[in-house]
Copies of this chain bind each other. A is one copy, B any other.
Amino acid sequence: MAKDTKVSMAIIRRLPRYHRYLGELLNNGVTRISSQELSKKMGVTASQIRQDLNSFGGFGQQGYGYNVKDLYDAITMILGLEKTYDSIIVGAGNLGQAIANYTNFQIWGFRLKALFDVNPKLIGLKIRDVEVLDVDLMEDFVSKNPIDIAILTIPKERAQEIADRLIAVGVKAFWNFSAVDINVPDDVIVESVHLSDSLFTISYRLNEDELFKKLKNK
């Protein structure tokens, strides 16, 4: 089981989206915004925005609305984006390399310290100055270089084993791209991105009408 959050996951998952929209407004030179204006832009209710924000404090001002920069900075802080996070990628295949190459994460304080793989052809390779190491060296590396977030881009067969090994050397958070649910102790965080699951909701929706026609005829 992963750690329970003080604030509901429904709200937490909306925070990055608020952050994006406020960043955009800030870029466009907008200095203030009401919950109603923002709600129109985002396609949510003004009530929800006010409720969500008030889980963390009163960032607005009656009669005025919200100061865009202040609110953006507050959400940046709430999301923990004022800190830095050291991370490793386990699995230096296509997806692992793609994530390693995605420099945007670095901007937000997520620093990649190493990649690991079993494939001798990949070991020694450098991706944006970060080296691919033999996965046998993983525990040793993490013991010497404390790692906040382990990114798992490995086949599902190996995911639980790798997670267990990393938990044993103190890793407390996983970004899991393997097509399997990993089991971790209560104090360890897992955020999974199940790409196939996501894709299958598309095929479901492309077929839903036909599906219910089929089901009715039974």
Q: Is the CB of A16 within 8 A of B105?
A: no
The reply to whether A202 and B149 form a contact with Cβ atoms under 8 Å apart is yes
Partner of A6, one of B81, B172, B181, B212: B212
- A28 close to chain B: CB less than 8 A: no
A123 to chain B, nearest CB (A): 19
Does the CB pair A85–B175 fall under 8 Å?
no
Tell me, rounded to whole Å, the shortest Cβ–Cβ distance linking A2 to chain B. 8
Which residues of B have CB within 8 Å of A110?
199, 203
Q: Which of A105-135 contact B (CB under 8 A)?
A: 105, 108-110
Q: Which B residues are CB-close (under 8 A) to A180?
A: 20
Number of interface residues of A (CB under 8 A): 66
Contact A85 B205 (CB under 8 A): no
Q: A3-B205, A78-B211, A211-B80 are in contact. Are A218 and B57 (CB under 8 A)?
A: yes
Are the CB atoms of A201 and B98 closer together than 8 Å? no
**Beyond A98-B97, A148-B206, is A197–B17 a contact (Cβ under 8 Å)?**
yes
B206 and A172 form a contact (CB under 8 A):
yes
- The answer to whether A12 has its CB under 8 Å from any CB of chain B is yes
- A199 contact from B15, B97, B191, B194, Cβ within 8 A: B191
Residues of B within 8 A of A198 (CB): 175, 191, 193
Query: How far apart sit A78 and B105, CA to CA, in the bound complex (Å)?
Result: 36
The answer to whether A85 and B203 have CB atoms under 8 Å apart is yes
Q: Which of B16, B197, B201, B212 contacts A200 (CB 8 A)?
A: B16
CB A73 to nearest CB in B, in angstroms, measures 13
Chain B residues with CB under 8 Å of A102's CB are: 94-95, 195
Top 6 A-B residue pairs of the complex, sorted by shortest distance between their CB atoms: A80-B207, A80-B203, A16-B197, A94-B98, A98-B98, A16-B200
Binding site for B on A (CB under 8 A): 1, 3, 5-7, 9, 12-13, 15-17, 19-20, 43, 56-57, 77-81, 83, 85, 93-95, 97-99, 101-102, 104-105, 108-110, 148-149, 172-173, 175, 179-181, 189, 191, 193-208, 211-212, 215, 218
